[in-house]
Amino acid sequence: MQSATGKVAIVTGAGSGIGRGVSLALLNAGWSVALAGRRGERLADTAALAGDASDRALSLATDVSDLASVTALFDATCGRFGRLDLLFNNAGTGAPPVLLEELSLEAWKRVVDINLTGAFLCTQAAFRMMKAQDPRGGRIINNGSISAHVPRPRSVAYTATKHAITGLTRSTSLDGRAYDIACGQIDIGNAGTDMTRAMSRGVPQADGTLAAEPVMEVQAVADAVLYMAGLPLSANVQFMTVMATTMPFIGRG
């Protein structure tokens, strides 16, 4: 089934949390969506939640840190839908919350490979596809996180990669201008997902204490991404911060 809007998206990390919420929002708005993630069964669950719109979903088990896997994702998307209007670089992971000097090189590299290299590989593939299609161009939205601005304690790998995503966003935005490719970043704070379940029990603060933190509904994030995605290519949200209203942000770090 073809997209009701004629628009096609790829969402990485689509099997849960923010990726699932954004995928469902796009499908419900009439987009066709390639659902990418490590676990095929979770992607199938996301597609099933879309109901009748699941006919416009394509589930593709993908390791974004692997070039061959990313190439297969974009080739399959092109083969099924014929074009790409949106890439949401959302796939991400963290490392154990240990002392900086105790973080293993293996854990560091895993976070860099998924959070940063994965976003870069997908961006490269999107550029190639968006430059070649007719009409030309498209949009890339990167999930930067509040950690693109300020760190949590014992989060050096995650924080470093999310700061780097901001650099990737800016370079992509600049280099994409000549090809009608827009790029923006959404920085998300405390959305209610499995990853933030610990927030209600208490998480480490900069002063060494533990404190519960408020969370917001994932739908608020999905609505924000849908707004960014729906803009004409002549307009762009360069950076947007969406967070639970009373979470500690300005005072963090």
Q: What is the pLDDT of residues 143-154, one digit of tens each?
A: 999 888 888 888
Instruction: Quote the pLDDT of residue 2.
Output: 54
Nearest alpha-carbon partner for 168 in 201, 192, 141, 134: 141
Residue 115 per-residue DSSP state: I
68 phi and psi angles, rounded to 5 deg: -65, -40
Looking at the DSSP assignment, which residues form a beta bridge with residue 89?
142
Nearest alpha-carbon partner for 224 in 22, 6, 12, 17: 22
- 19, 37 in Cβ contact below 8 A? yes
Q: Which domains does the chain have, with CATH numbers?
A: 8-243 (3.40.50.720)
User: Which single residue is written with the structure tokens 């700061």?
Assistant: 163
Q: What is the mean pLDDT of residues 197-201?
A: 68
Positive or negative, the CA dihedral 200, 112, 175, 60 is negative
Residue 151 per-residue DSSP state: P
Show the CA angle centred on residue 194, arms to residues 102 and 85, nearest 5°. 100
Per-residue pLDDT band at 253 (split at 50, 70, 90): very low
Query: What are the tens digits of pLDDT across the range 40-98?
Result: 999 999 999 999 999 999 999 999 999 999 999 999 999 999 999 999 999 999 999 99
Per-residue pLDDT band at 31 (split at 50, 70, 90): very high
Helix (H) / strand (E) element for 183: namely: strand 181-189
Least confident of 33-37, 94-98, 172-176, 182-186: 94-98
Residue 191 per-residue DSSP state: B
Instruction: Quote the pLDDT of residue 150.
Output: 87
Catalytically annotated residues: 158
Q: What is the mean pLDDT of residues 90-110?
A: 96
Which pTM does this prediction carry? 0.92
